[in-house]
Amino acid sequence: MTSSAYVAGQGQAGARSARRLERRRLLFWLLPPVAWFTVFMLIPYGMLLYTSLGHVDDMRFIPGFSFDNFIRVFTVDPYLGVIIKSARIGVMTAILSAIVAYPLAFYIAFHVRSARAKFLLYLLVIVPWWASYLVKAYAWKTILGSGGILNATLQGIGLTDGPVRLFLYNEFSVVLTLTYIFTPFAVLSIYAQLERIPTSLIEAARNLGADGWTIFRRIILPISVPGMVAGAIITFSLAFGDFVAPVLVGGPDSVMISNVVINLLGVAFDWPMAAAIGVVIIALGLLLISASGWLEEKTQTRF
């Protein structure tokens, strides 16, 4: 009895010390991610929120606890209007990118047989990213401008008499440039989803007498929706926060929210207001990511 109780007690103590050791080890492994999260997420976001609740008086930051800046974002021109405009440009970019990207992703996934050719095409999609964003945006300037390649061609073949000025310096050129620059992201995420479709599924459908269009409409398209959603979220976010395209190819109306934030930081030195816009956008972003996560989950097909 005593001896067995002693053994049991020892076993318990051993388990406890093992657990303690385990806990210590857990702490050791948890520390890096927690530290990373604290340094790169919690502290910056905390500082952003702290700044947004204060105000600037004569170029000096006065800490406070006031929601005035947030109220201003929603009530004073032009902040909310510019956020909506940026969102509109983001949505158009996302839709256009998906439309441009889908056929290419489809082609790479289903029509390119050899792995080599697949890799090559894949590479060609990524290669433009080796060139600087600025260079690509400037390229569109030279294509779309009054004396640009497009206008020269149109006049050369006699379609127009004078230069068409509608191509450049407006929302159209901004969306076009952003679409061109961010489409690779849509291609990659749609392609990743299409790759997952088992060929057996398509063969089975074919055996059952489905034609190509039916297979696309009833099998491929529904399965690829999560990839499109993921691609759209990336392209939307990148386009929404862009500040270079409106400056380079935008017109007099093409001010986007990041441009306003830059102005507030640099010209006006109104960091609290800029921080408030940042907090609002982060909140909107979280909402968007939650919604898209839910949508991806809901549209995901299980095999």
Partner 1 sequence: MACVTRKWKQLLTGAVFGVTAFGSSAAMAGGQLTMLVWEGYADKSFVAPFEQESGCKVNAVYVGSNDEIVAKVMSGGGTADLISPSNDTTMRLINADAVSPVDTSKVPNMADFLPQFHNPKWLTKDGKVYGVSYGWGVIRIIADPAAVPASTDTLGFLWDPKYAGKLSVWDDIETIYMTSRYLGFKNTYDLSDEQLEQIKAKLIQMKPNIRKYWFTTGEMGTLMASGEVVGGTAWESTLVQLRNAGKKVLDIKPKEGRGAWSDSWMIVKGAETNACVYPWLNYVSSAKAQALAHKVTGFGYPNIKMVDNLDEKTKASYSELGMADPATLTNVDWWQPVKRRAKYLEIWNQVKAASN
Task: Report 108-137 residues binding partner 1 (CB under 8 A).
Answer: none
Span of 54-62, 95-103, 123-131, 218-226 interacting with partner 1 by CB under 8 A:
54-62
Cα distances (angstroms) measured from residue 22 to each of 8, 34, 146, 158: 20, 18, 70, 79
Of 102, 126, 133, 116, residue with least CA distance to 242 = 133
Q: Is 41 in the site for partner 1 (CB under 8 A)?
A: no
**Residue number, 231 or 246, with CB nearest to partner 1:** 246
| Cα–Cα distance, 189 to 59 (Å, whole number) | 45
Q: Is 54 in the site for partner 1 (CB under 8 A)?
A: yes
User: Shortest distance, CB of residue 59 to partner 1, whole angstroms?
Assistant: 5
Q: Is 81 in the site for partner 1 (CB under 8 A)?
A: yes
Cα distances (angstroms) measured from residue 110 to each of 39, 72, 106, 167, 290: 44, 52, 6, 35, 31
- Interface pick for partner 1 out of 215, 233, 273, 276 (rule CB under 8 A): 273
Span of 3-11, 24-32, 102-110, 162-170 interacting with partner 1 by CB under 8 A:
162-170
Of 231, 232, 230, 276, residue with least CA distance to 257 = 276
Cα distances (angstroms) measured from residue 244 to each of 29, 43, 60, 69, 253: 41, 28, 29, 26, 14
User: Shortest distance, CB of residue 22 to partner 1, whole angstroms?
Assistant: 38
**Residue number, 188 or 260, with CB nearest to partner 1:** 260
Q: Is 11 in the site for partner 1 (CB under 8 A)?
A: no
Instruction: Let me know if 239 is exposed, middle or buried by CB neighbors in 10 A (0-12, 13-18, 19+).
Output: buried
**Residue number, 12 or 160, with CB nearest to partner 1:** 160
- Interface pick for partner 1 out of 100, 152, 263, 295 (rule CB under 8 A): 263
Q: Which residue has the tokens 């961010």?
A: 182
**Residue number, 64 or 212, with CB nearest to partner 1:** 64
Please give the backbone phi and psi of residue 112, each rounded to the nearest 5 degrees, phi first.
-95, 120
Q: Is 262 in the site for partner 1 (CB under 8 A)?
A: no
Span of 143-151, 180-188, 206-214, 228-236 interacting with partner 1 by CB under 8 A:
143-151
For residue 6, the surrounding DSSP H or E stretch is helix 2-37
Span of 190-198, 215-223, 250-258, 284-292 interacting with partner 1 by CB under 8 A:
250-258
Q: Which residue has the tokens 């956008």?
A: 281
Q: Is 145 in the site for partner 1 (CB under 8 A)?
A: yes
Q: Is 78 in the site for partner 1 (CB under 8 A)?
A: yes
Of 179, 5, 212, residue with least CA distance to 92 = 179
User: Shortest distance, CB of residue 131 to partner 1, whole angstroms?
Assistant: 20
For residue 247, the surrounding DSSP H or E stretch is helix 244-248
Task: Report 224-243 residues binding partner 1 (CB under 8 A).
Answer: none
Chain positions contacting partner 1, by CB under 8 A: 47, 50-51, 54, 56, 58-61, 63, 76-78, 81-82, 85, 145-147, 165, 168-169, 247, 250-253, 255, 260, 263-264, 266-271, 273
